[in-house]
Amino acid sequence: MWEKLRPSLEKYYNQYDASHDMAHIERVYENAKRILAAYPEANEEIVTFAVALHDVEDKKYANEQSADFMKFIFTTYDVSLDQQKQIRTIIDQVSFSGGQTAESLEAQIVQDADRLDALGAVGIARTFAFGGANGRSLYQSSEVEALWQGKEVPNGASITHFYEKLLLLKDKMNTEEAKNLAQQRHEFMLLFLQQLYDEIGEQPCRN
């Protein structure tokens, strides 16, 4: 199914910046396959469609084509109404900002697979790719301090995103495979931040 979906997905997602392009979708799919191997009872087809479509209607990128593309995929591959409902529910539960709990095993797998791609070296690269595409500064230490004080920092610097999301992800994984991978990638991000603060002559922010 993935090979059938790929040409349409490439055409659609490559209109996005490098943080959410087709390469991101491919990596999430590979993460999902790795987790699926430990859960043969999960519905692989539902997971595949949910991974494929999880960023189509992302509020950061959605446009007039988004709903049409979802409909095109569902129609082209004869996805039943019940399956569509399952897929849309999973997509709603994947988002970190949405704050929803992944209820089904399939949702947990997709959520973990997507969050793993926000960690480690790739997560760092994606953060700066998104920041660059949206005109964000590299770092603003005052923003991180504001977070510790419980204040909101909308559209903050790229480094601020580590503290408002990325460093929180390892403790929010659902599956054992994802938890192990997340720990490794989390530790790499801490090393990166330590090196950054050494280079700019500041003390590391609390982790």
Query: What pLDDT, on a 0 to 100 scale, did the predictor assign at position 207?
Result: 56
**pTM for this model (two decimals):** 0.93
pLDDT (average), residues 138-149? 85
**In the numeric block, which tokens belong to residue 199?**
């280079």
Q: What domains, with CATH codes, occur in the chain?
A: 2-100 (1.10.472.50), 120-200 (1.20.58.1910)
Contact residues for 124 (Cβ-Cβ < 8 A; gap 6+): 189, 192
pLDDT band at 50 (very low <50, low <70, confident <90, very high): very high
Closest among 92, 119, 117, 112 to 42, alpha carbons compared: 112
The closest alpha carbon to 48, from 103, 14, 5, belongs to 5
**pLDDT tens, 65-112?**
999 999 999 999 999 999 999 999 999 999 887 778 899 999 999 999
Q: How confident is the model at residue 206 (pLDDT cuts 50, 70, 90)?
A: low
Per-residue pLDDT of 156-197, as tens digits, reads 899 999 999 999 999 999 999 999 999 999 999 999 999 999
